[in-house]
Chains A and B, each alone.
Chain A
Amino acid sequence: MSAEAVSALALSIRVAVVATLLNALIGIPLAYLLARRAFHGRAMVDLVVTLPLVLPPTVTGYYLIVLLGRRGWLGAPVYALSGWSVAFTWYAAVIAATVMALPLLVRTARAAIESVDRELEKAAFTLGRSEWRTALEVTLPLAKNGIIAGLVLAFARALGEFGATLMLAGNIPGKTQTVPLAIYTAVQTGEMAEAVVLVLALTVLSCLVLVVAGRLGARAA
C-alpha cells in the first residue's frame, strides 16, 4: 500500500470517528427534542436537518461553502479576524461528513425515542424524576438500540462521504483526501492497483462496522 493510500485511510477513519462523535453530541439531543418537545420552529429544524438526505451532496457542499468558505457568511468574518479558513482543511471534511450523516442518526434515533412508551416517562415523573433525568435514565436507555443503529449508519455515511467533502475540503493528498476521493483520483489517473487496494480496505472496514454493530445490538437486546 502506498504512503498516500495509508494516509487516506487514516484520514478517513479519523474524519468518520470525529464526525460520528459530533453526531452523537448534536444528533441525540436533537432527536430527543424533536421526538418529545413541541417548540417554536420545530418543523424548520426538522427540515434543515433532513435536507442533506435528499439534496445532491454537491448542493449541500455548495451551501457549506456559502456558509463557511473564505467569503462565506460565517467564514468571511472568521477569515477577516484570524486569517484562517476552515475550507480545504481536514476540519472541513469533518464538517461535511457530520452534516451529511446527521439526518440518518436523527431520523433513526427520533423514531426509536418516539416508540418509547410515554407512560414510562410519566411513571418516572411521579417517582420524582425531572424530565432531564427521565431522559437519561428511562427514555434514552430504552431507545438505545435505535440510537446505536443510527450511529452506525452515521459512521458508514461519514466514511463514504464524497460530494460535499470535495466541495468544502477539496481533494488534497495527505491533507483532505479521504479514501473515496483517493479511489476516484486513482481511477481517473489509471492507477487501478491503488484503487483496488483502497476499495478492498473500505469494504473490509464497512463489514467490520456492521459486525461490531450487530454484536452491540445483540448485547443491548
Chain B
Amino acid sequence: MSHRFSIEIAKRLPGFTLDVAWTAGDGVAVLFGPSGAGKTLTLQCLAGLIEPDAGRIVVDDRVLFDAAAGVNLPPQARRVGYVFQSYALFPHLTVAGNVGFGLRDRPRPDRERRVIEVLERLDLASLAHRHPSELSGGQRQRVALGRALAIDPALLLLDEPLSALDAPLRRALRDELRTILSGWGTAAVLVTHDFAEAYRLADRIVVYENGRVIQAAARAELLWQPASEAVARVMGLRNVLHGVVVKAMPDRIQIAWRGQTLEAVNSPTRTYLPPTDSPIAFFIRPEYVRLVRKDRSALDAAHHMNQMRGTIVGESDFGTVWSLRLRLDTPGAPAQGEFDLEVEVPHLVYEILDIERDRRWEFSIHRGSIHVLPA
C-alpha cells in the first residue's frame, strides 16, 4: 500500500514559533535537527495532542486537521500510533495488556488474536505476562512499538526512540528498529537529533532548525548535497569553508580560497551558477583529504587534484581514526582559527606513514570531494 501525507502547520508558543511544511510517503521520514527545533511539537500536532494555530494535515487523503475548514480530529480518531521518548508503557498492565490497550473496541477473540500476532512478530510472546518494570530497555521499546502498531495506524510516530538506551544497546536496537519498521511497512515519522541515527533509519530526512524546515530530501541527497550552509552546520559537517567564485560552469566551479584556486564538481542535479567574485561556501569531508605518500613519485593528475602543502599543527586520537589539523603554507590567517583543514586518517594509515614523526605533508583533494553549498 502506498502512503502519502503532507503537513503544513504553524503554532505560536511563548518564545518559539513553529512554521513548517513538508511531505513524505512510504517508509520512514526522519525529523532531524537540534533540540528545541520543534520536532517533537510537530509530532504532537500530527497526533492531535496539540492544536496548531493554522495549517492543514492530510494522511492518505484523510484530513486530520484543517484550520481553515475548522477540522481538528481528536487524537482518539486519528489512528496515529505514538511511541513516546520514555515509551510511556502502562506500568499497571502486563505486556499483553499494553499491546491490547488500543484494541478494546474489537470483539474479544479478535483482540486476543491480534495481541498474540503482534507479540509473536516482535518476539515478545514469552514476556506476555510480565509488567514493564520487569523488562529491559530493548524489550520496552518493542512493547511500545507493538502497542502503537497493534492498532494498524495510518501513521506511526516515534519520538527519539533510542535516546533512553545505553550506547552499545542503542546501536543494536537502531538496526532492529530499522528491520521492524521496514518489515511492518507502516509509514513512520521519527524524531532524532543524532545524524548517524537519522541516516541509518531514514528514507527521507527533514532538517529542522529553530521552528523551520531548512531542507527535506532523500537521505543520500541530504548527505551529499546539503542545501545550504545552515543545513551543513546542523548536520555537524566539518571543514565548512568560505571562498570566492573564480568561475562557475555547469559541471565545475573554481573557487579562490587561501591563496589558491580549488576546483569543485558542480552538483549534477542542482546546477549552481553564482557570478564570478561572489562569496561561496563549500565543505570538504575530513576523510576525503588524501595525504601524498612520499615514497611514490610522479603523481597521477587524474587522482590528485587541488594539491596543497602544509604542516600538522594539532591532532586528536578518536580510537579508530586520527583527526589531524593542517595549516597551509600559504600566507594569511588560517581558515578555521589555528588551522585550515581537518583531515581524518585511519590508525593504520597513521602508523604506516609514520605521521607521529613526520609533520610536513603534501595532500590533495579530488574535485568530487569539494561540495559547494548554495547560498
Point out residues on A near B: beta carbons under 8 Å.
117, 119-120, 122-130, 138, 141-142
Question: Which A residues touch B76, using CB under 8 A?
Answer: 125-126, 128-130
Q: Which residue of B lies closest to A134 (CB)?
A: B76
Question: Which B residues touch A126, using CB under 8 A?
Answer: 47-49, 75-76, 78, 80-82, 102, 148
7 more A-B residue pairs beyond the given contacts A126-B48, A126-B78, with a C-beta to C-beta distance below 8 A: A119-B84, A122-B47, A122-B82, A123-B88, A126-B81, A126-B148, A127-B101
Say whether, besides A122-B75, A141-B92, A142-B91, A127 and B49 are in contact (CB < 8 Å). Answer: no
Would you list 6 pairs from A and B whose C-beta atoms are within 8 A, ordered by A residue? A119-B88, A124-B90, A125-B76, A126-B49, A128-B105, A128-B151
Question: Which A residues touch B82, using CB under 8 A?
Answer: 122-123, 126
Q: Are B49 and A122 in contact (CB under 8 A)?
A: yes
Please report whether the interface of chain A is mostly helix, strand, loop or mixed according to DSSP: helix
Please report whether the interface of chain B is mostly helix, strand, loop or mixed according to DSSP: loop
- Out of B48, B78, B90, name the residue touching A120 (CB < 8 Å): B90
Q: At the interface, yes or no: B270 with Cβ under 8 Å from chain A?
A: no
Q: Which residue of B lies closest to A123 (CB)?
A: B88
Question: Which B residues touch A142, using CB under 8 A?
Answer: 90-92
Question: Which A residues touch B78, using CB under 8 A?
Answer: 126
Q: Which residue of B lies closest to A127 (CB)?
A: B102
Please indicate which of the listed interface residues A126, A129, A138 has the most CB atoms of chain B within 10 Å of its own CB.
Answer: A126
Distance from B160 Cβ to chain A, minimum over Cβ atoms (Å): 13
Number of A-B contacts (CB under 8 A): 54
Say whether, besides A126-B80, A128-B151, A138 and B90 are in contact (CB < 8 Å). Answer: yes
Complex Cα spacing A204 to B101, Å: 44
Complex Cα spacing A119 to B86, Å: 8
Q: At the interface, yes or no: B346 with Cβ under 8 Å from chain A?
A: no
Say whether, besides A130-B76, A142-B91, A123 and B84 are in contact (CB < 8 Å). Answer: yes
Q: At the interface, yes or no: B147 with Cβ under 8 Å from chain A?
A: yes
Q: Which residue of B lies closest to A141 (CB)?
A: B92
State which size class the interface on B falls in.
20 to 34
The B57-84 residues at the A interface (CB cut-off 8 A) are: 74-76, 78, 80-82, 84
Question: Which A residues touch B84, using CB under 8 A?
Answer: 119, 122-123
Say whether, besides A119-B86, A130-B76, A124 and B101 are in contact (CB < 8 Å). Answer: yes
Q: At the interface, yes or no: B294 with Cβ under 8 Å from chain A?
A: no
Question: Which A residues touch B91, using CB under 8 A?
Answer: 142
Shortest 9 CB-CB contacts between residues of A and residues of B: A127-B102, A125-B75, A119-B88, A123-B88, A126-B82, A126-B75, A128-B76, A127-B101, A119-B84
- Out of A117, A130, A141, name the residue touching B88 (CB < 8 Å): A117
Complex Cα spacing A120 to B88, Å: 5
Distance from A221 Cβ to chain B, minimum over Cβ atoms (Å): 11
Distance from A134 Cβ to chain B, minimum over Cβ atoms (Å): 9
Complex Cα spacing A124 to B76, Å: 8
Q: At the interface, yes or no: B296 with Cβ under 8 Å from chain A?
A: no
Complex Cα spacing A119 to B105, Å: 22
Q: At the interface, yes or no: B104 with Cβ under 8 Å from chain A?
A: yes
Question: Which A residues touch B101, using CB under 8 A?
Answer: 124, 127, 129
Question: Which A residues touch B90, using CB under 8 A?
Answer: 120, 123-124, 138, 142
Q: Are A122 and B88 in contact (CB under 8 A)?
A: yes
B17-59, CB under 8 A of A: which get 1 and which 0?
0000000000000000000000000000001110000000000
Distance from A172 Cβ to chain B, minimum over Cβ atoms (Å): 47
Question: Which B residues touch A141, using CB under 8 A?
Answer: 92
Distance from B232 Cβ to chain A, minimum over Cβ atoms (Å): 34
- Out of B48, B74, B151, name the residue touching A127 (CB < 8 Å): B151
Question: Which B residues touch A128, using CB under 8 A?
Answer: 76, 102, 104-105, 151
Distance from A117 Cβ to chain B, minimum over Cβ atoms (Å): 7
